[in-house]
Amino acid sequence: MSSVIRLLPDHVANQIAAGEVVQRPASVVKELLENAVDAGATAIKLVIKDAGKTLIQVIDDGKGMNEIDARMCFERHATSKISIAEDLFQLQTKGFRGEALASIAAIAHVELKSKEHTAELGTQVIIEGSKITSQEIVVAPSGTSFSVKNLFFNIPARRNFLKSDQVELRHVIDEFERVALAHNNIQFTFINNGSEMFNLPASNFRQRIVNVFGGKTNEKLVPVQETTEIVEVHGFVAKPEFAKKSRGEQFFFVNDRFIKSGYLHHAVTAAFEGLLKDGTHPSYFLYLTLPPNSIDINIHPTKTEIKFDDEQALYAILRATIKHSLGQFNVSPVLDFQKDGDLEVPYSYEGTKSTEPTVEVDAFFNPFESMKSGSSLAGQMGSGFNPFESIKPKTSVSSFQSNASFQDRKHKSGGWETLYEGISDAKEIILTSANHQFDEEVITGSLFDDDSSQPTNHQQSYQFQKKYIISPIKSGMIIIDQRRAHQRILYEHYMRSFTVKQNASQQLLFPLSLYYSVYEMELLKNLQNELVQMGFLFDEISNEKIVILGIPVSITESEVSIVLEDLLNDMQDDAPADVDILHDRIAKSLAQSLAVKTGTYLSDKEQENIVNSLFGCDDPQTSPFGKTTFITMKVEDIDKKFM
């Protein structure tokens, strides 16, 4: 019997390994950038075309390779990082398996140029599908340049599974940001289709974060710093008021390696407990330094998941550190029992003694003291008497204290009874005086005509639980979900805007500036034409901010940032290339953002507008997301409940 088990050819084994290591262009970018970092580069340049499908090029000024290493690096399990098994527990580099370059060369056209700093000439190696087509001596700058062209050229099925250029570019940017944030001492440059997207000079951690995510990020950051025997934690968390609806700006780095850990992420969210709005997620950039022998990074092909020796201790330290930082910078309230109980005063009053103010009131002061003792109030009123005539215009509170006779009047108590003499008579005189006549107000008619004798056909709508609108009809009544109904109304409104390719726009008194990340700005540039059709007017769209001059009439200025943020979140995962599908996605996103929320009180007029507009829609029965907008209850059904 012939044996059925045999060794796979190298090129087949490399293609199988590529299925684990190279999933998309972003995987190639990650491996090449990490190799450049391991080579000791101080400046790294990334160039891509068509989201990496056509070209991925990484240029660094690292130590370079000689002609032997340049050829050996494409062999499976060829590595300079480890030599014995014990080295796996003392890793300080990004890569160590020696599979990446062999896998990449198996599914793409690869060109390598490398030169050591001490050498005069470099080496060029060209590989197509694991086959070395040429190797020669060339003139090259010090360092290494990898060019990966036509990714998956020999595996068309894998290429067909790639997403649109916009989605693949998003993944490439994610990998670039992760490497750039972990190594702030290296200069990074990113060029996409001939235009520069990132130019990050070597800087400190805070400035690197600001350079990657925009200048407005600086005001959001709260420093985090803690050193223990187990771990050293430093980095930044964003203030709770800047929490986002997506989880884009969440980064963990362990020994300068980006990782994903749901357990540590839960520790961060626990530290923000009670500070975040529902549906929002905190942003954080946290760097953890641990002994290499206390972690195991050899559990996942992409090395983004690692195991810790003591996860519970890390959880407690991380949670306590973040809570302490939020309280230290007055982001969250804290109880400080060691704080001085004295009132805090301005520095100019520091050390001065406080004097308690005193107020004296003359209880015996009588403004009618100058009246003649025999006269009655009623008689004086009839003769044009003014009881306040004796009060001087400039009398103030100080007169109660500075009057020279104040101390004398303290002992006088006689004569105060005469103050109320004649008041009853005066009241009777005022009420019965014939000299005072008052005009009566004549009601001529009602502002609105109300003929109660005529029957009315008006049917009033009612709001129930601030969620449903109940409206009577001939056969019974309908119950409308106010949010779903409003979504349907807005959706069809925006779809009509795309059809007519214009919409009413309201000019803003002052231009509105909004700041976004580099990728979000690229996404807005791609959606600019559709947004203009809806009524947005843009003055500037740069790599960091947009300036808006006009907005649709159905949107208020305060809602613009919320609408655009929701739109960007909906488009980040996948932006369809088909125009009709794109319009549908945009209309749904805006309808969901702007629709009236459940729990909102609606006036009678607003209820009426929703009812009338809903039944003026082409498809009033369902929301844009396929959910029922209203139900009908007939009188017969209601009668059966009472039988």
Segments forming the whole domain that contains residue 313: 213-328
Asked if the structure places residue 355 within a domain, the reply is no
Rounded Cα gap, residues 418 and 370, in angstroms: 12
What percentage of residues in the chain have a pLDDT greater than 90?
33
Across residues 559-569, what is the average pLDDT? 87
Confidence tier at 54 by pLDDT (50, 70, 90): very high
Q: How many domains does the chain have?
A: 3
Across residues 550-555, what is the average pLDDT? 86
Residue 252 is classified by DSSP as: E
**Are 226 and 300 found together in one domain?**
yes
Rounded Cα gap, residues 150 and 153, in angstroms: 5
**Are 106 and 230 found together in one domain?**
no
Residue bearing the bigger pLDDT, 3 or 149: 149
Asked if the structure places residue 242 within a domain, the reply is yes
Report whether pLDDT(403) > 90.
no
Which residues are within 8 A (CB) of 97 and not within 5 positions of it... i.e. 6 or more apart? 77, 79
Select from 200, 228, 258 the last residue of a domain: 200
**Are 89 and 234 found together in one domain?**
no
Range of lowest pLDDT (235-249, 287-301, 467-481, 531-545): 287-301
**Are 494 and 618 found together in one domain?**
yes
**Are 14 and 158 found together in one domain?**
yes
Report for 54-58, 130-134, 446-450: range of highest mean pLDDT: 54-58
**Among residues 525, 569, 533, 567, which one has the least CA distance to residue 550?**
533
The CATH number given to whatever domain includes residue 252 is 3.30.230.10
Report whether pLDDT(503) > 80.
no
**Are 195 and 218 found together in one domain?**
no
The CATH number given to whatever domain includes residue 32 is 3.30.565.10
Report residue 255: phi and psi, to 5°.
50, 45
C-alpha to C-alpha distances, 59 to 111, 187, 524, nearest whole angstrom: 12, 12, 29
What percentage of residues in the chain have a pLDDT greater than 70?
74
**pLDDT per position as a tens digit, 180-201:** 999 999 999 999 999 999 999 9
Determine the pLDDT at residue 330.
65
Report whether pLDDT(368) > 90.
no
Report whether pLDDT(344) > 70.
no
**pLDDT per position as a tens digit, 272-320:** 988 888 888 999 999 999 888 888 776 666 667 788 888 899 999 999 9
Rounded Cα gap, residues 102 and 100, in angstroms: 6
Report whether pLDDT(220) > 50.
yes
Asked if the structure places residue 422 within a domain, the reply is no
Indicate the helix (H) or strand (E) that contains 94: none
Determine how many CB atoms are found less than 10 A away from the CB of residue 121: 11
**Are 176 and 298 found together in one domain?**
no
Select from 328, 363, 393 the last residue of a domain: 328
Across residues 623-627, what is the average pLDDT? 93
Across residues 51-65, what is the average pLDDT? 93
Give yes or no for a contact between 124 and 112, defined as CB atoms under 8 angstroms apart: yes
Select from 286, 304, 328 the last residue of a domain: 328
Give yes or no for a contact between 538 and 547, defined as CB atoms under 8 angstroms apart: yes
Asked if the structure places residue 376 within a domain, the reply is no
Determine the pLDDT at residue 299.
61
Determine the pLDDT at residue 346.
52
Across residues 598-605, what is the average pLDDT? 90
Report whether pLDDT(504) > 60.
yes
Across residues 233-260, what is the average pLDDT? 89
Rounded Cα gap, residues 8 and 166, in angstroms: 37
